[in-house]
Structure 1
Amino acid sequence: MQNFQHKSQRRRKRGVLLTHEGLERFQTAKLDSEYIDNCGQRYTLEDLRERTGVSTDTLTKVLAGDCRVDKQTLRYCFKAFGLDLNSTDYYIPELTDKSHVIRAQTHMTPYDIAGGPLSVTSPLYVERPRTEKAIYQALEQPGTLIRIKGASRSGKTSMIARIAHESMARGYHPISISFQLAEKKILNDLDKLLQWFCASVSLAMGATPTLDNYWNTLFGSKLSCKIYFEQYLLPMTQRPIVLLLDDVDRLYQHPDVADEFLYFLRNCYEEAKTTEIWQLMRFVTSQTFESYVPLHGINKPPFNIGIEIVGSPKRVRMHCNGG
């Protein structure tokens, strides 16, 4: 009986875990494959199961890094993305000084494993040092505009979260607005859209929306929105505001409204060059390639300005446009 328990304990201790280096190699190869072979779509656990031949439960263990798996499982996972398993990619827990191992599961969340937006501390996020440095430097410029374009599920929302985190660390006030939260009846009406926009920013700043005091049908929606920012929202803070607009492409289903909204953003960008109060603003937008439609605001005026970031999570291209 004792001999059986001893063998059982030895079996339970068998297996390896991914090192941080191994997990990063695997994730980078997976992200490249998603961009090249899967039209930019993130692989689900079911997709990974079919590609690697490893069960979804075991794949979850591999990605989370908190349960031992056998070395052959890791070989299957790596081979599926054209990688050889190296000795630096894994370690045997009971034979390793854990103080020298960066555990892969540190700060992991269910989104990290399942393929959703990554937390700012996730080890699965692929760093882009040069690009991120350029973005953070641009945020120091009053009125800057940064436009992020990429395939669906290519990491745009994760990058937005990182920019928000860095903005807060610099003493700025990041405000994230996702157009996924706007109903279709709002997106189809410029007046409703700009009122929703103003109210969303107000709540994010901890202010009560008071649109009736500033909205004037004679002035129109865009001028009313501009006045609302100038006379109500911006005077209540001295910190730079980083306005992060995610899923802007939802607007493109309503070209006339999208065109007007983008003209409004361009006007705000131009105001920062000459008007002191608008110099508090920084703008970051995010959109997908797939939703492009013939629209003035996408590839020509009014929205061919600022810094544009284009690419997959690994292959990123940047260029600046004039105002």
Structure 2
Amino acid sequence: MLSIFDNINYQDGVIMGYILTEAGKKKVDEKLPQGCNCSEIARESGLYRTTVSRIIDRNYGVRLGSLEDFFSYFDLKLEETDYQELKNNENTTTINTGESKQPQNTNPSQNPEVQKYVKRPLIEEQLYESLLFTNSILRIKAPKKMGKTILINQVLEQVKMKKKYQTVSISFQEADNSHLSELNELLRWLYANVSNQLNIKDKLELPPKLNEWDNLTKTFGSKMTCTNYFEKYLLQKLNNSLFLCLDNLELLFLNENIYQDFLGMLRSWNDKASRNSLWQKLRVVISYAPNTDTKINPNQSPFNIGTAIELPEFNLEEVQQLAEIYQLNLDNSQVRELMNMVEGHPYLVRLTIDSLKTRNDMTFEKILETAPTKDGIYHSPHLQEYLAILKQHSDLAEVFLSIIKGNYLGNIENHAIKTLINLGLVKYQDGKILVRCKLYRLYFENYLGDI
């Protein structure tokens, strides 16, 4: 199995936790039963499996409290000689022992988002292998704020490390309104951005000037002009595969005239790859929040081909991992309380942990107490945006309230239900339609009561 993103980098000089010294490791080794695994110890000690693994392998820092709990499980007393600080200095992770510092390899990226990334190996593996070993479109689908962009960035960073691949990442959030309102402008903007990221002038023959684009579109149309540009001036000149990631695709759904043609063009590129080896160089990743109202001919749709990846919520172990990345002292009961309020919603979990770390006026108890109110950290802009949508669409609000109160008798094929699922307000689980988390139930029960 491929192992990627094995190291997480942190800010210079920041204590990244504590690891066992050789003396501490020796004590543990003497107590470890033969054949015992991390899962068994985690289950019996109340720690998380990743925490146990990090303590035993000494490859990541953990909270001092976790070391104390780990030693207590083996009826050992943690002494100062048993542990040491793990620090980061420049691009090298070092162990602060008071002696010579021993370097360990770290991820060279200095991106703050990378530093706070929670590894999700099974999903990363699926995404990575789909990119490398299939020629079809790869679709990453999830409601907003579920971590699609950061996941893609992690995998593309890994792809970049392999010199035979080139990557281009386009976010439609960066497009102007004028680009999103007319197909010709959108495709011209897309091609200009791809060319710019590939540094066409330095690495490839210069394609026809973009000011000639409009003349060509009069004869061939926008889609054919864009397709010809990719075929004749990109794919033909590139020696290696090109990974093209199109993020925030849902912004195109606002204009039917655009998304029908644009999505049809992507489907045609995929069809070309089945009979033209040149187009097999192109791997397309589309990331989007689904929209129930998007209608497209199945034979022209990219949404029914390739590999689809839907992002789940964080599990308990991943929430604990994020808390440890922030060096935040959350015990197991607090993590469970947080999960009880927000489930494992990545954005809500990150917002909670970040608020605890950066705001002196916030305590864990205060965050949970004020969570479903307008004074809570989740109100603006997250809950406020949902509230505005529901107030504009009373039919959605009525169905949502019926689910909150346990009175919904319809089925999953209902248009309103599909919309609420796509928004991320409800989920389909074990044959039932449920409110995504306790926070949503309490908040909207209170603020939607007058609709």
Normalising by the smaller structure, the TM-score range is 0.5 to 0.7
1:173 alignment partner, SS class = strand
Whichever residue aligns with residue 126 of structure 1, its letter is V
Q: 1:236 to 1:274 in 2, by over 3 A?
A: same
TM-score (norm 1): 0.61
* SS of the residue 1:147 aligns to: strand
Q: What is the rounded CA distance, in whole Å, between the counterparts of 2:119 and 2:299 in structure 1?
A: 30
Contact 1:17 1:92 in 2 (8 A): no
Confirm whether residue 296 of structure 1 aligns to residue 278 of structure 2: no
Can you list the C-alpha shifts for 1:48-88, whole angstroms capped at 9, x where unaligned?
A: xxxxxxxxxxxxxxxxx99x9x97xxxxxxxxxxxx99725
Trace 1:106-185 onto structure 2 (pairs within 5 A).
118-119=113-114, 122=115, 124-141=116-133, 143-171=135-163, 172-185=165-178
- Mark the runs of 5 or more structure 1 residues left unpaired by the alignment: 1-15, 29-64, 72-83, 113-117, 317-323
Deviations, residues 104-148 of structure 1 (Å, cap 9, x unaligned): xx8799985xxxxx21xx2x4232222222222222235331111
SS at match of 2:124: helix
Check conservation: 1:252, 1:293, Cα contact below 8 A.
no
Paired with 1:109 and 1:218, the residues of 2 have a C-alpha distance of 45
Matched, 1:244 2:245: yes
1-side partners of 2:79 and 2:109: how far apart? 24
Write the mapping of 1:27-42 to structure 2, written as runs, cut at 5 A. Answer: none
The equivalent of 1:257 in structure 2 is 258
CA 1:87–1:225 in 2, change beyond 3 Å: closer, same or farther?
same
Q: Percent identity?
A: 28
> 2:284 and 2:109 mapped to 1: Cα distance?
28
**Whole-Å Cα distance in 2 between the matches of residues 192 and 265 of structure 1?**
17
Deviates more, 1:261-270 or 1:135-144: 135-144
Q: Equivalents in 2 of 1:92, 1:191: separation in Å?
A: 68
SS in 2 for 1:263: helix
Deviation of the 1:298 alpha carbon:
10
User: Which deviates more, 91-100 or 302-311?
Assistant: 91-100
1:314 aligns with 2:301: no
Q: How many residues align?
A: 238
Task: Kindly report which structure 2 residues correspond to 1:147-226, keeping only aligned pairs within 5 A, or say none.
Answer: 147-171=139-163, 172-208=165-201, 210-213=209-212, 215-226=216-227
> Equivalences for 1:35-114 in 2 at 5 Å?
87-88=69-70, 96-98=83-85
* CA pair 183-225 structure 1, distance change in 2 beyond 3 A: same
CA distance in 2 between partners of 1:259 and 1:250 (Å) = 13
> Which SS does the other structure have where 1:175 is aligned?
strand
* Kept in 2: contact 1:142–1:280 (CA 8 A): no
SS in structure 2 opposite 1:244? strand
Paired amino acid for 2:266: L
Change over 3 Å in CA distance of 1:110–1:253 after alignment to 2: farther
SS at match of 2:285: strand
The alpha carbon displacement at 1:163 in A equals 1.7
Inter-CA distance 17–189: structure 2 relative to 1 (3 Å threshold): closer
Q: Deviations over 1:157-188 (max 9, x none)?
A: 11111121121122310100010110111101
Q: Cα RMSD (Å) of the superposition?
A: 4.2
Alignment partners' CA distance in 2, 1:154 and 1:92: 41
Q: Secondary structure at the match of 2:236?
A: helix
1:10 counterpart residue number: none
Tell me the alpha carbon deviations over residues 254-283 of structure 1, each in whole angstroms, 9 at most, x when there is no partner.
122012111111111111111121111001
**Could you say which structure has the greater relative contact order, defined with CA pairs below 8 angstroms and 6 or more residues apart?**
1
Q: Which region of structure 1 is more displaced relative to structure 2, 203-212 or 228-237?
A: 203-212
2:268–2:300 Cα contact (<8 Å) kept: no
In structure 2, C-alpha distance between the alignment counterparts of 1:181 and 1:168, rounded to whole Å = 22
Q: Assess, with a 3 A threshold, how the Cα gap between structure 1 residues 218 and 128 changes in structure 2: closer, same or farther.
A: same
Question: Contact 2:18–2:85 (CA<8 Å) still a contact in 1?
Answer: no
Normalised by the length of structure 2, the TM-score is 0.45
CA distance in 2, matches of 1:93, 1:250: 55
SS in 1 for 2:133: coil
Report the structure number with the largest CA radius of gyration.
2
